[in-house]
Structure 1
Amino acid sequence: MTTTAGTKRPAARGLLLLGPALVAAIAYVDPGNVAANLTGGARYGYLLVWVLVAANLIAGLVQYQSAKLGLVTGRTMPELLGDRLRPAARRAFWAQAELVAAATDLAEVIGGAIALNLLFGLPLFLGGIIVGAVSMGLLAMQSRFGQRPFERVVIGLLAIVAIGFVAGLFVNPPDALSILEGLVPRFSGSGSVLLAASMLGATVMPHAIYVHSALARDRHGRAETANDRTRLLKITKIDVVVALGIAGVVNVGMLLLAAVNLRNVDNTDSIAGAHAAIGAALGPGIALVFAIGLLASGLASTSVGSYAGATIMAGLLKRRIPVFLRRFITLIPALVILGLGVDPTWALVISQVFLSFGIPFALVPLLRLTNDRAVMGDQANGGFVRWALGVIVVLVVVLNVALIALTILG
C-alpha cells in the first residue's frame, strides 16, 4: 500500500506542474481563430485542413522552445532581447511587438463583444466595454493572488471554449474521407492563400511566443540543477503536447463545423451569420453553446494578451505601467472600430493576417537564442531542431511574401 502511494505521488506532483502551456494555448483558440476558421470552412470546405494541422505542429515546437528558454535562463524572451539590442533597435522591436499584441487584443475584444450580442442582444460597443472590464478583473486577480488562480480560471475557460466549438461535430459529424483529402497541401486561388495566412497568424501567435517564456519562468523559476532541468523540461513537453493538442482539435473542429454545416449557405461570411446558420442546421442548443464558447474565448484570450503586452514592455523597455492603465489603452482601438460600425468579422480576419507578419519577428530571435550555447548551455538546440525551426521561419516568410504579391496583383 505504501509502495503504491509512493509511486503515485511523483505523478501527482507532475500533474500539478502543468498549466503554463494551457494558458498560452488560449491564444490559439481566440476569436480571431473563430473568424478565420469558420470563413475557411464555409468558403473552401475541407481544403485548408492541412494549414491548421501544419500550423498546430509548428506552434507546438515553437511554444516548447519559448518555455525552455524561460526555464533554462530564468529570463523571459523580451528580457533577453532587451539586453542584446541597442536602444534604437530595442525601441523599434518593442513597437512592432506592441502592435502585434494590440492586433491580438483587437480581435479578442471584438469577438467577446460579438458573443455578448449573440447571447443577450447587447450593442457591440457596450459588449466591448464589458469584455474589457471583465478582463481587468481577471488581471487584477492575477496581480493579487498570483499565477496559479489565474491559470485555473483561464484553463476553465479553455474547457468551455473546447466544448462550445466542438459540440456541433457530434450532432452532424464530418466525412472522414474528405478530412483526409483536406490534409493534402494545396490552394484554390488568392482568396485561399489570404485565409491560409490568416489561419497561420491566428494559430502561431507572436504574443504567445513572447509570453510563454514568462509563464514558465514565473511558475517554475529557473531550473538550477541538471536534475531540475530534466524534470521540468519533461513536464513542459507534456504540458505543451496536451495544451496544443486541445487547441489543434478545437481549431480543426471549427473549420469542420463550417465545412459540414455552412458550405454554400448564404450569409455565413460573418460570425453572426454563421451562428444563425449553425442554429438552423444543428438547433438552438448547439448555437447557444457555440456563443458561450466564443464569449469564453474572448474573455480568456484578452486577459492573456494583456499579460503578454506587460511582459513585452517590461522586458524590452524595462518599464511597467499599471495593469488597469494598460488594459484601458489597449481597449481603445477595439472600441473605436466597434463604435464606427466596421464589420467585426472582417476586422477579425484582417487582424489575423496582420499577426502573421509579426511571426518572423518573434521566431527569428527565438531561433537564435535557443541555438546559442552561451545562452542555453547543454540545452541548446540540436541539429534537427535547428533545421526544423529554420524551415519554419523560411516557410512563414515565403507565405507572407506570396500573400502581399497576390493581394497587390488582385
Structure 2
Amino acid sequence: MPERRKSLSARTALDVREVLDGRRRGLRILLPFAGPAVVVSVAYIDPGNIATNLQAGAGYGYGLLWVVLFANLVAMLFQAISARVGLVTGASLAKICARSLPRPVAAAMWIVSEIAAMATDLAEFLGGAIGLALLAHLPLIAGMGITAALSWALLLLQGRGFRPIELTVGALVGVIAIAYLAELILVPIDWRSVARGTFVPTLADSQALLVAVGIIGATVMPHALFLHSGLTGERIKPATEEDRRKLLRYSNVEVVIALGVAGIVNMAMVAMAAGAFHEGHPQIAEIGDAYRTLTPLFGATAAGFYLTSLMASGISSSAVGTMAGQLIMRDFLGFAVPLWLRRLATMVPSFVVVGLGVDATRALVASQVVLSLAVPVPMAALIAFACRRQTMGPYRLSRPMAALAIASALIVIALNIVLVVDALS
C-alpha cells in the first residue's frame, strides 16, 4: 500500500512532465497541477470563517458580503504571489526571510508567525470538535479527542508523497462546498440583497467593523502565505526556464479556480446565515445555537449539512495548519520538532480554552482578529521579496502588480489600526 501511494505522487510528476513537454492536451492538462492551491484553499473555508461568517450574516444580513469578496480577492492575489515566489526560488517564504534578513528581524517574524499558527489551530481544531460533538451528541472534550485522531491520521499521509494528502484535502473541500450548496437550496435567500451586499460597501456600526476585520483575519491567512510558497517550491522542480514559465502560468490558473471556489463557499456561508437567522434570530452568534435553531426552522437535514461542513472543515484545516507550522519552524530556525509534538503543542490552547469555560465560538472569532493583526507581517515580506531583483530575477512583480499588492496590504493594515483604536476607546 505505501509503495502504491508513493507511486501516485510519482505518476503525478510524470503527468506534469507530459504537460510541460506538450504531450498532454485538453482539460486533462490542469489535473496534475491541482494540489498546492487546493490544500491552501481549506484555510479560507475553515471553522474560523464559519464562525465569523455566521456572525456577519445573522447580525448584519447580506450587508458584509462585500467584505468577503474583498478579502477573497486579496487572498487570491497574495496566494498567487506566494506560489510565484516558491516556484521561482525553490524555497518557502520563511526560508527566504531566514537567510536574507538580520537574525533579530527573522526571529521576530518567526514569533509572530508562531502566534498566528496557534490562533489558526485554535479555530480549526475547536471548530471540527464542535461539529463532531454536536452531530454525534458527544461532550466537547470527546469531540476534541476524535478530531485530534482524525487530523493526525490525515497528517500521516505526508509520509506517502505529496499527492495523497492533496487528494484527501481536495475531497474534504468538495464536501464543504456541496454542503453549502445544499444549504442554499434549503434556506430561502434574498438574491437581490445578495447582489447589493456584494457590491455596495456598508458598515452599520463598530461591531460590524470588528466582524469585518475578523472576516479578513479568517480569509487572508498568515500561515497560508508561508505554506503555499513551500508547497510549490518543493513539489515539482522546473528543468528549464520554459518549464518555469509554464508552471507559473498553470499555478495562477489553479489559484484562481481553487480560491474562487473557496470565495464562493465563503459568500454562501454569509448568505445562508442571513437567510436563516437575520430576520428572526439576529442575535445568533454561536455555532451550537445556529445548529439548534436550524433544526426547527429548516429541518434536521439543513442542520446536518451545516455540521458536516464544519467537521470536514475542522479536520482538514487543522491538519493543514500543523503542516504550515512545521514548515514555518523548520525554515525559520533550521530544524523542526517531531510532528506528534508539534500537533500536541498546537492543541493545548484549545483544551485550555474549553477547560476554562470560555465560549468556543467567541474564541473562534477572537482568534480571527489575532490573525488579522498578524497577517501584515508575511504580506509585507512577500511583497518585498517578490519585487526584489536579487530574489526573483526577471520574474519579479511588475509595477502595476506591486502597486496593487501594496494597496491591498495597506487597506488591511488600516482596518487593523481602526480596530485597535476602536477597542481602546
2:103 maps to: 87
Q: Spell out, residue by residue over 1:56-105, the C-alpha distance to the aligned partner (whole angstroms, 9 max, x if none).
A: 11111100000010001001100000001222222221111000011000
Letter in structure 2 aligned against 1:247: A
CA distance in 1, matches of 2:92, 2:252: 18
Residues 5-404 of structure 1 aligned to structure 2 (within 5 Å): 9=25, 11-142=27-158, 144-182=159-197, 183-221=199-237, 223-266=238-281, 268-404=284-420
- Mapped to 1, the partners of 2:104 and 2:385 lie a distance apart of 20
On the 8 A contact 2:133/2:142 being kept in 1, the answer is: no
For residue 254 of structure 1, report the CA deviation from its aligned partner.
Answer: 0.5
Amino acid at match of 1:170: I
Instruction: Point out where structure 1 has 5 or more consecutive residues left out of the alignment.
Output: 1-5
1:166: how far off? 2.9
RMSD: 1.4
- Corresponding residue SS for 1:262: helix
| One-letter amino acid of the structure 1 residue matched with residue 264 of structure 2 | V
Letter in 2 for 1:397: I
Please say which of residues 166-175 and 337-346 is displaced more in the overlay: 166-175
1:122 counterpart letter in structure 2: L
Please list the CA deviations of residues 236-289 of structure 1 after superposition, one character each: whole Å capped at 9, or x if unmatched. 111101111110011000000011111143462210111122222221112111
The count of aligned residue pairs is 402
Instruction: Provide the secondary structure at the position in 2 that maps to 1:381.
Output: coil
Conserved 8 A contact 1:261-1:278: yes
Supply the distance in 1 between the matched residues of 2:251 and 2:317 (Cα, whole angstroms): 21
Amino acid paired to 1:265: G
Distance 1:311 1:74 in 2: 14
Cα distance in 2 for partners of 1:343, 1:198 equals 17
Which residue number in structure 2 is paired with residue 3 of structure 1? none
Distance 2:123 2:226 in 1: 18
Give the whole-Å Cα distance in 1 for the aligned partners of 2:387 and 2:295: 49
> Which shows bigger deviation, 110-119 or 190-199?
110-119
Query: What is the CA-CA distance between 1:39 and the residue it aligns to?
Result: 0.6
Paired amino acid for 2:251: T
SS in 1 for 2:318: helix
Match of 2:57, as an amino acid?
G
- Alignment check: 8 A CA contact 1:199 1:352 kept: yes
> Which amino acid in structure 2 is aligned with residue 18 of structure 1?
A
Amino acid at match of 2:106: R
In the alignment, the residues of structure 1 paired with residue 327 and residue 343 of structure 2 have an alpha-carbon distance, to the nearest angstrom, of 13
What is the Cα deviation at residue 127 of structure 1?
1.4
Q: Secondary structure at the match of 1:321?
A: coil
The answer to whether the 8 Å contact 1:164/1:291 transfers is no
Q: What amino acid does structure 2 have at the position aligned with 1:17?
A: F
| Alpha-carbon distance, 1:114 to partner | 0.6
Aligned-partner Cα distance in 2 for 1:148–1:249: 25
TM-score of the aligned structures, taking structure 2 as reference length: 0.92
Q: How far, CA to CA, are the matches of 1:14 and 1:289 in structure 2?
A: 30
Contact map agreement 1:164 1:294 (CA 8 A) in 2: no
Query: Do 2:188 and 2:276's aligned partners in 1 also have CA atoms closer than 8 Å?
Result: no
What is the identity percentage for the equivalent residue pairs of Structure 1 and Structure 2? 40
- In structure 2, C-alpha distance between the alignment counterparts of 1:300 and 1:378, rounded to whole Å: 36
CA distance in 1, matches of 2:24, 2:92: 33
Letter in 2 for 1:325: L
Could you list the runs of 5+ residues in structure 2 that have no partner in the other structure?
Answer: 1-21
Whichever residue aligns with residue 134 of structure 2, its letter is L
Verify the 8 A CA contact 2:78 2:225 in the aligned structure 1. Answer: yes
CA distance in 1, matches of 2:48, 2:148: 17
Aligned equivalents of 1:106, 1:381: Cα separation in 2: 34
Q: 1:180: Cα distance to partner?
A: 2.0
